[in-house]
């Protein structure tokens, strides 16, 4: 009787191990990840949400790679830009941005630890 009980438990254990291994092996691309949906949502949580503002381009500081925009409420915001910043209108480059002071602009940006980083600047033609 004891032999039958031991063999039964051994068979149950072996089946559980083989089913668990087979189920894990059938999950494509999940080696080393606990939950792929969870890591995707964590990546999105770390990435700052994009925002936008429209207003008047008041000053451009090319040596600091920065510019300021005065919103309709009168608040002035400072933005940084880099080589990845897309500039449309004007001359579609930072030099064109420098000659567009006083123009209306729409700035899409992300707020990171170093401040507001412009991702896109749309310069609207002067009226």
Q: pTM for the complete prediction?
A: 0.60
| Helix (H), strand (E) counts: the chain | 3, 6
Helix (H, G, I), strand (E, B) or coil at 127: coil
- Of 84 and 38, more confident: 84
Give CA–CA dist 60/72, Å, rounded: 18
Give SS3 for 91: coil
The domain segmentation of the chain, as residue ranges, is: 2-46, 50-123
The mean predicted confidence, pLDDT, of the chain is 78
Tell me the C-alpha distance between 83 and 114, whole Å: 16
What confidence score (pLDDT) does residue 118 get? 93
The per-residue pLDDT for 25 is 60
The residue with greater pLDDT, 74 or 31, is: 74
Q: Which CATH superfamily is domain 50-123 in?
A: Copper binding periplasmic protein CusF (2.40.50.320)
Half-sphere CA count of 69, side-chain side, radius 13 A = 24
The pLDDT of residue 8 is 72
Quote the CA–CA distance of 83 and 27 in Å, as a whole number: 40
* pLDDT tens per residue across span 53-111: 999 999 999 899 999 999 989 999 999 999 899 988 867 677 778 888 889 999 999 98
């Amino acid at each position: 009787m004891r032999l039958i009980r031991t063999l039964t438990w051994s068979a149950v254990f072996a089946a559980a191990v083989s089913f668990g291994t087979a189920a894990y092996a059938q999950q494509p691309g999940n080696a080393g990840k606990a939950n792929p949906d969870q890591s995707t949502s964590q990546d999105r949580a770390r990435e700052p949400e994009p925002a936008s503002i429209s207003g008047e381009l008041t000053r451009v500081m090319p040596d600091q790679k920065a510019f300021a925009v005065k919103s309709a409420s009168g608040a002035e915001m400072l933005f940084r830009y880099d080589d990845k910043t897309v500039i449309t209108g004007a001359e579609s480059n930072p030099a064109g941005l420098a000659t567009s002071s006083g123009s209306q602009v729409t700035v899409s940006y992300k707020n990171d630890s170093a401040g507001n980083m412009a991702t896109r600047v749309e310069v609207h033609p002067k009226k």
